[in-house]
Amino acid sequence: MDFTDIYNSKKKSPEEIADQILSGFELVCPTAASQPTAIPAAIAERAKKGEIEHVRHNSIIALNPAPFVDPELAGKFEYVSWFTQAAARKGVQEGYCDYMPCHYSEEVAVWDAKGNPDVFYAVVSPMDRHGYFSFGIIASEAVELAERAKYVFLEVNKNMPRCHGSNIIHISQVDALCEYDAPLNEVPVPTVSETDLTIGRQIAEMIPDGATIQFGIGGVPSAVGMCLNDKKDLGIHTELFTESMIDLIEQGIVTNRRKPLNTGKTVAAFAWGSKRMYDFLDDNISISMEPVSYVNNPYVIGQIDNFISINACLEVDLLGQVCSESIGPKHFSGSGGQVDFVRGCNMSKGGKSFIAMNATAKKGTLSKIKPILTPGAVVTTGKNDVDYIVTEFGVAHLRGRTAGERAKALIEIAHPDFREELRAEARKMHLMI
Ligand code: COA
């Protein structure tokens, strides 16, 4: 069957698609490079003219150009951030964008709780001869949210790689599409400092051959990737596909042979990186892009022995409560999949979750290990879930340790300049028994 006629009958201009948006509509697109360019721009034009109001765009990560992140359009076309990075941070901090607390594994379930979106729209790679589009480097929430929305609009972009996995949509599921070849957003390879490498080496020592790994966002997870050169038969099962994973696969350190699930394949929910990464993922049958409700599901992670998760944070208190998403009351990021992987590792035989950070911030003037979290800081990973905390001064294993033991272990990996002060505070809190 030839799907070209159906394709052509659904092909519209971005403006014609934007004309279908009604006031009060909830729009959603998958994360990062899935964000359409031409359709939101056309919707913003309508909002500026006063034709629509109270339209909300939802996504995990918003990228520029993001016309819905514009204080001038507040109340007309506005943004709800589900993981505050890139284009949305200023808007959330200044209060003209809102944010949605959620674990990434539960994003679709949260939509089920709040009511389904009116519109799902996304960037896809060009249609194949069977009538299928690939969501490319993003699987995450795409398939499940497209099924739930009243309308599905696509922006077909020849720059979106065609990736393998459960990340496809058929022309019969689409209400309208437009073609727009915007360059795919790239992020610079994270800078890795000497301190990050010191942390990375300590974590690498605790990763056995045959382990399956997940890396989060930031310099420390990247540093760990650079310290795994002597490992064998690693597997990858990760929310975010990172730059350092390419080297591990190309060098044969990752084989995925010892994973009981998706054996032989690298599994990721989405990728966000450089052109080199996007070329690597294009038509690469060893990579399976899978929904985040599967990848980040703690019960799935728990079925994989020796699962190792490495994420970063902003501060930790003496009980091991981890804040990864705010600086005091100032919202900075999101929970993403941090807790999903921490909980999954706790269920995995031999699993370990590492949350790592430099011991200090602000040029050494501030300890990131604190007696209590900064007032207003939110807890991302709770004290009952946390496993290992790592700084350049060592590794504190908290799971199975009492409050007093945790305080001692954490003070030992704080910067030496702050240890005495932390001990004094811990005593006042009756934590040093
Ligand atoms: N108090 C004040 N400022 C702090 C701070 C603290 N406790 N900790 C960090 N900062 C500052 C840093 O100095 C830096 O400022 P600069 O940009 O002016 O240099 C900035 O905050 C970012 O800190 P940094 O440690 O460099 O961040 P990172 O890029 O390594 O990312 C997280 C760390 C925690 C923000 C990131 O991993 C994240 O967003 N995590 C979310 C949860 C998660 O892990 N999800 C799973 C994977 S997606």
Q: Whose CA is nearest to atom 29 of ligand 1?
A: 218
In tens digits, the chain (433 residues) has pLDDT values of 899 999 999 999 999 999 999 999 999 999 999 999 999 999 999 999 999 999 999 999 999 999 999 999 999 999 999 998 889 999 999 999 999 999 999 999 999 999 999 999 999 999 999 999 999 999 999 999 999 999 999 999 999 999 999 999 999 999 999 999 999 999 988 889 999 999 999 999 999 999 999 999 888 889 999 999 999 999 999 999 999 999 999 999 999 999 999 999 999 999 999 999 999 999 999 999 999 999 999 999 999 999 999 999 999 999 999 999 999 999 999 999 999 999 999 999 999 999 999 999 999 999 999 999 999 999 999 999 999 999 999 999 999 999 999 999 999 999 999 999 999 999 999 997 6
Question: Which pTM was predicted?
Answer: 0.97
CB-based pocket (< 6 A), ligand 1: 216-219, 239-240, 311-315, 324-325, 327, 332-338, 361-362, 366, 368, 380
Reduced to 3 states (helix: H, G, I; strand: E, B; else coil), residue 303 is coil
Does residue 280 contact residue 246 with C-beta atoms inside 8 Å? yes
Instruction: Give residue 219 CA to ligand 1 midpoint distance, Å.
Output: 9
How many Å apart are CA 241 and CA 155, to the nearest integer?
Answer: 23
Does residue 202 contact residue 413 with C-beta atoms inside 8 Å? no
Instruction: Give residue 314 CA to ligand 1 midpoint distance, Å.
Output: 5
**Catalytic positions, written as ranges:** 239
Structure-token pair, residue 195: 């301190």
Instruction: Give residue 241 CA to ligand 1 midpoint distance, Å.
Output: 19
CA dihedral angle for residue 33, residue 131, residue 288, residue 112, rounded to 10 degrees? 70
Structure-token pair, residue 263: 């054996």
Residues paired with residue 138 on neighbouring β-strands, in sequence order: 270
Residue 190 confidence (pLDDT): 85
Instruction: For tokens 């030839």, name the residue.
Output: 2
Q: Residue 387, Cα to own-chain centre: how many angstroms?
A: 20
Strands 235-241 and 212-215: parallel
State pLDDT tens for residues 55-108.
Answer: 999 999 999 999 999 999 999 999 999 998 889 999 999 999 999 999 999 999
Q: 328: exposed, middle or buried (C-beta count within 10 Å: 0-12, 13-18, 19+)?
A: middle
Q: For residue 336, which atom of ligand 1 is closest to its CA?
A: 45
Q: Whose CA is nearest to atom 47 of ligand 1?
A: 216
How many CA atoms within 13 Å lie on the side-chain side of 433? 8
Residue 433 confidence (pLDDT): 67
Q: Whose CA is nearest to atom 6 of ligand 1?
A: 314
Residue 230 confidence (pLDDT): 97
Q: Whose CA is nearest to atom 11 of ligand 1?
A: 361
How many Å apart are CA 79 and CA 69, to the nearest integer?
Answer: 6
Structure-token pair, residue 34: 């899935």
How many Å apart are CA 423 and CA 367, to the nearest integer?
Answer: 13
**Which amino acid, 307?**
F
How many Å apart are CA 249 and CA 252, to the nearest integer?
Answer: 5
Q: For residue 358, which atom of ligand 1 is closest to its CA?
A: 25
At residue 277, what are phi and psi to the nearest 5 degrees? -65, -45
In degrees, rounded to 5, the angle at the alpha carbon of residue 186 between the alpha carbons of residues 184 and 190 is 165
Mutate to test the pocket of ligand 1, among 314, 332, 338, 343 (most ligand atoms within 8 A of CB): 314
How many Å apart are CA 402 and CA 303, to the nearest integer?
Answer: 28
Strands 326-327 and 330-331: antiparallel
Residue 188 confidence (pLDDT): 87
Q: For residue 323, which atom of ligand 1 is closest to its CA?
A: 34
Residue 207 confidence (pLDDT): 98
Residue length, the chain? 433
Instruction: For tokens 């934007």, name the residue.
Output: 18
State pLDDT tens for residues 330-377.
Answer: 999 999 999 999 999 999 999 999 999 999 999 999 999 999 999 999
Exposure string of 227-248, with b = 16+ CB inside 10 Å and e = fewer, is bbeebebbbbbbbbbbbbbbeb
Instruction: For tokens 């911030």, name the residue.
Output: 361
At residue 50, what are phi and psi to the nearest 5 degrees? 80, 15
Mutate to test the pocket of ligand 1, among 60, 141, 217 (most ligand atoms within 8 A of CB): 217
DSSP-derived secondary structure letter, 182:
P
Instruction: Give residue 319 CA to ligand 1 midpoint distance, Å.
Output: 20
Q: 7: exposed, middle or buried (C-beta count within 10 Å: 0-12, 13-18, 19+)?
A: middle
Q: For residue 370, which atom of ligand 1 is closest to its CA?
A: 7
Helix (H) or strand (E) holding 146: helix 142-148
Reduced to 3 states (helix: H, G, I; strand: E, B; else coil), residue 32 is helix
Q: Whose CA is nearest to atom 28 of ligand 1?
A: 218
How many Å apart are CA 384 and CA 16, to the nearest integer?
Answer: 51
Exposure string of 15-42, with b = 16+ CB inside 10 Å and e = fewer, is eebbeebeeebbbbbbbbbbbbbbbbbb
Q: For residue 216, which atom of ligand 1 is closest to its CA?
A: 47
How many Å apart are CA 316 and CA 422, to the nearest integer?
Answer: 12
Instruction: Give residue 91 CA to ligand 1 midpoint distance, Å.
Output: 18
Structure-token pair, residue 182: 């915007």
How many CA atoms within 13 Å lie on the side-chain side of 198? 13
